Structure formats: C-alpha cells, structure tokens
Structure 1
C-alpha cells in the first residue's frame, strides 16, 4: 500500500471514529459534519472527500460497529469450548459495551431512524450476529438453540438499554 493510500485509510478511520463520538454524544440528527471534522482535526470539506453525505458517514460508522461485534463473537466461537460458549459470548458483549460505549449508543439511536439504508444496515448487523450465534449454539449442541439465541439477543438489547439509561440494576439477575 502506498503511503498516500495508507494515509487516506487512516484519515477515513479517524473521521468514522470522530463521527461515532459526535453522533453518540449529540445524536445523529443534531450532529453536523462540521462537528465531526472538528473532532477529527480536519476541515469539513475533507469529510466530504470520503463521505458524500452525513447518512453515508453514519452507515459507515454503523458498519464499523457491527464489524467489531461480529469479529469479537467470531473469535469466541472459534476458540471456546461448547460448554462455555454462551457464557463467554455474554462476557465478550459486556466487554464490547465497556470498551466501545459510543458504538452501542450509536446502534441504539440507529434503531429508531426510519431511513431505509440505515434500517437495512441495522437489520444486516442483527441478522449476521443472530446467524453466527444460532449456528454456534447448534454446533455446540446447546438445547433449544433457537430459543437460546433469542434469549441471548434479548439480553444484549436489555444490556444496551441498561447502558443508555445508566441503570445497571436492569442486569442483576
């Protein structure tokens, strides 16, 4: 990769990281590309060099956040014994929440945005996670894998709500 290509990849990543922070802090609709540019220490036109619209920037940010979850879960699935799989996936999701709080806040917001492209990205992320977990549960011989997958996903959504509302007591069980 040429130096300018590597710089472009890094700048694109910096812009996405800044967008995740800004969108999580002030909300997608209130956030501006100028705020994102300022957070990334670049000019606003430079944001548009990589992302034609604010929605395109949001879609890229959501894809990054879903990729992080999928990759983390994939590693757990590939390296964890069947009897520890579900518990390890839960711990990994708690770890993702702790380390990438803004990405979770961004996903929570995106669930309420009605634009088709955003809905499609959110549906795609949930589907990919669901299929990975369901397949892993089936292969691990977990009883009632569909039900366990649904409960796993429901627990994740509840974890997100607890995070957003700052109500850790929702997770005490």
Structure 2
C-alpha cells in the first residue's frame, strides 16, 4: 500500500473513532460533522472526502463496532471448550464493554433510529451475532440452544444498560 493510501486509511479510521466518541457522548441527532472534525483534528470538509453524509459516517461507525464484537466472539468460538463456551463469550463481551464502551453506547442509540439503512445495519449486526452464538451453542451440544442464545443476548443487553446507567448492581447475581 502506498504511503498516501496508508495515510488515507489511517485518517478514515481516525474520523470513525472520533465519530464514535462524539455520537456516543452527545447523540447522533445532536452531533454535527463539525464536532467530529474538531475531535479528529481535521477540517469539516475533509470528513466528506470519506463519507458522503453524517448517516454514512454513522453506518461506518456501526460497522466497526459490530465487527469488533463478531471478531471477538469468533475467536472464542474457535478456541473455547464446550464447557467454557458461554462463560468465555460473556467474558469477551465484558472485555469489549469495558474497553469500547462508546461503541456499545452508539449501538444502543442506533436501536432507536428509524432510518432504514441504520435499522438494517443493526438487524444485520444482531443477526450475525445471534447466528454465531446459536451455531456455537448447537455445535457445543448445549441443551436448549435457542433459549440459551436468547438469554445470552438478553444478558448482553442488560450489560449495556448497566454500563450506560452506571448501575453495576443490575449485573450482580
């Protein structure tokens, strides 16, 4: 990859990271591309070199956040024993939530956005995670894999709410 291509990829990644922070902190609808540009230390017009609209930027940010979850779960599925699978998946999600809380806050907000492209991105992300977990639970011969997958996903949503509201007691057993 040529230096200018590398710089361009890095800059795009920096813009997406800045957008994740800004959108998570003040909300997608209140956030402006000017605020994202300020956070990324670039000019606002430079954002539009990579993203045609603020919605396109949000879609890229959601893609990054879902990719992180999916890749983390993929690593667990490929390496965990059947006995440790669910525990290791929970630990992997907890690690993501602790390290990338803004991404999870972004996903939570995106669940309420009614634009078709955003809804489709969220359906796709949830669907891919659900399918991966369900397939892994079936392969591990976990009893009632559909119900266990549902409970796993519900627990993940509760983890998100717990983190968003700073209510760790929601996760206490």
Q: CA deviation at 1:94?
A: 0.5
Say which SS state the counterpart of residue 83 (structure 1) adopts. Answer: coil
TM-score w.r.t. the length of structure 1 is: 0.99
- Give the SS at the match of 1:166: coil
For structure 2, the residue ranges without an aligned partner over 5 or more in a row are none
- 1:54 equivalent in alignment to 2:54: yes
Q: Secondary structure at the match of 2:41?
A: coil
SS of structure 2 residue aligned to 1:82: coil
| Cross-structure match for 2:73 | 73
- The CA distance in 1 between the partners of 2:18 and 2:107, in whole Å, is 15
Q: Indicate whether 1:63 and 2:63 are aligned.
A: yes
**What SS does structure 2 have at the residue aligned with 1:161?**
helix
Q: In the alignment, which residue of structure 2 is the partner of 1:164?
A: 164
Deviation track 1:28-59 (CA, whole Å, cap 9, x = no partner) reads 00100000001001000000000000000000
| Counterpart for residue 36 of structure 2 | 36
- Aligned partners of 1:165, 1:128: CA distance in 2, in Å? 26
Per the alignment, residue 117 of structure 2 pairs with 117
TM-score (ref. length: structure 2): 0.99
Shift of residue 98, structure 1, vs aligned partner = 0.1
Aligned length: 173
Distance apart, 1:99 and its partner CA: 0.1
